Amino acid sequence: QKRTRQDSKHGRLIRDHQALGILVHLFVRHHKLADGKGAPFVYCGQVDFATWEGEQPIAVQWSLRESVPERLRGSLKVPDAT
């Protein structure tokens, strides 16, 4: 959200989600539209707060609990781990 600040109630909720027992799940899509309709989202798994930067808006970096499934790596253009 563009108005969220790190020290706001919502900012603290993002940062402290694990301690509060809130699960966060990541869904992604390549394009907003597909064949003139809303493109489908792909479920990638649960994430945990890693870090953030900025204010209004804040940019949050999440950490996936498990690696992206092999069957999705190509379509999501996930680089090979080195």
Average pLDDT over residues 41-63: 92
- Three-class DSSP category at 9: helix
> Is 76 or 59 the better-scoring residue by pLDDT?
59
| Amino acid identity for residue 44 in this structure | C
- A 10 A CB-CB count for 34 gives 11
Q: What is the pLDDT of residues 5-50, one digit of tens each?
A: 999 999 999 999 999 999 999 999 888 999 999 999 989 899 999 9
Report how far residue 72's alpha carbon sits from residue 4's, in angstroms, rounded to the nearest whole number.
31
CA-based nearest residue to 77, from 35, 39, 42? 42
